[in-house]
Structure 1
C-alpha cells in the first residue's frame, strides 16, 4: 500500500487544519497517510514512507518554530537522498518575511538531497473556502506525483 506522512507544527491550529486537508487529498488518491506532530516524530521515520510533507507556521520574523529545530538537526543524520517531499505552512504577510519557515524547510530538504515534487503551499493564517480546496488538491497532487516518480524509476531500472 502507498503510505505517506505529514509532519507538522501548529500553535493556533491553522497549520494543523492545512495538514488535515492535505491528508484528505492524499486519501482521495487512494493512499494512506499518517498525520503527526513534529514533537512526536523523528527524522528517520521519513524513510518508512513513499513520500512525506513537512508543514510549519512561521514564527517571529520569518523563523522556523522551535518545535522543528531538533527534527531538522536529526535530518542531517538520515540519508534522505532521493526521498520524495513537499512543504506547506501558514504565515502572516504583515511581517517582512512571509512564510519563512516554509522556505527554510525547503532549503533543509534540498541540502539533505530530498526531491521536492511540487511548489510549496503557503497559506495566510488559516485556509479560506477556496484554499481548503487547494489544500486537498495539493495532497492529491503530491501522492500522484510520488507514484509517477516511482513508476518512472521502475520503468528505467
Structure 2
C-alpha cells in the first residue's frame, strides 16, 4: 500500500484536528499516512501521491484560504485526474458553499472523490472526529 497524503491549512486548529483524525483512520485501516501542513509541501510533491485528503476551512465569504491553500490547490488541480481525493474542513458561518465549490473544482479536474466533502462546524465534536476517522479508512479501502 502506498502512502496517503493528508495536506491541510488551519488557522484555529479545527481543521488540523480533523486532519489528525483522518490520519488515525488511515492507520487503523492498515494504511500509511503522511501528514503535511500546506506550507511544508508543494503542488508538485503532492501530485506524486495517488491518494490524498485535502483540508481547508471556509474563509471570508466562504472561500478557500487565499494566501497559501488556494494557490496550492490551483496549481495541484490539473494533476488530480484519476487520483482518489477526499476534501475536508471546518466552518463557522454560511451553509457550506465553499465546500460545494471546492468539490466541483476537484470533480471537474477528474479527481475520484471520496465522499461529498466533510465539514465540521467550528471545533469538531466526537461525531465529526469519528466521521474523519471513517473518511481516512475509506481512503485506504477505495
Tell me if both proteins adopt one fold, taking TM over 0.5 as the criterion.
Answer: yes
Cα deviation code 1:72-110 (max 9, x no counterpart): 23125x432211101011012xx3x33333223312212
Equivalent pair of 2:38/2:72 in contact (CA under 8 Å): yes
Between the aligned partners of 1:131 and 1:107, the Cα distance in structure 2 is: 22
Following superposition, which runs of at least 4 residues in structure 1 exceed 6 angstroms of deviation? none
Match of 2:115 in 1: 118
Cα deviation code 1:116-155 (max 9, x no counterpart): 122211100111122222211111122111xxxxxxxxxx
- Equivalent of 1:129, from 121, 126, 129? 126
Q: CA RMSD in A?
A: 1.6
Equivalent position SS for 1:30: coil
Between the aligned partners of 1:4 and 1:138, the Cα distance in structure 2 is: 12
Superposition deviation, residue 28 in structure 1? 0.5
Match of 2:96 in 1: 99
Larger helix percent: 1
Instruction: Summarize the Cα distance change of 1:143–1:63 in structure 2 as closer, same or farther, 3 Å threshold.
Output: same
Scaled by the length of structure 2, the TM-score of the pair is 0.89
Superposition deviation, residue 36 in structure 1? 0.8
Equivalent position SS for 2:11: coil
Equivalent pair of 1:72/1:108 in contact (CA under 8 Å): no
Between the aligned partners of 1:100 and 1:9, the Cα distance in structure 2 is: 18
Match of 2:82 in 1: 82
Stretch deviating more after TM superposition (15-24 or 124-133): 124-133
Superposition deviation, residue 112 in structure 1? 1.7
Q: How does 1:54-69 map to 2 (within 5 A)?
A: 54-66=54-66, 67-69=68-70
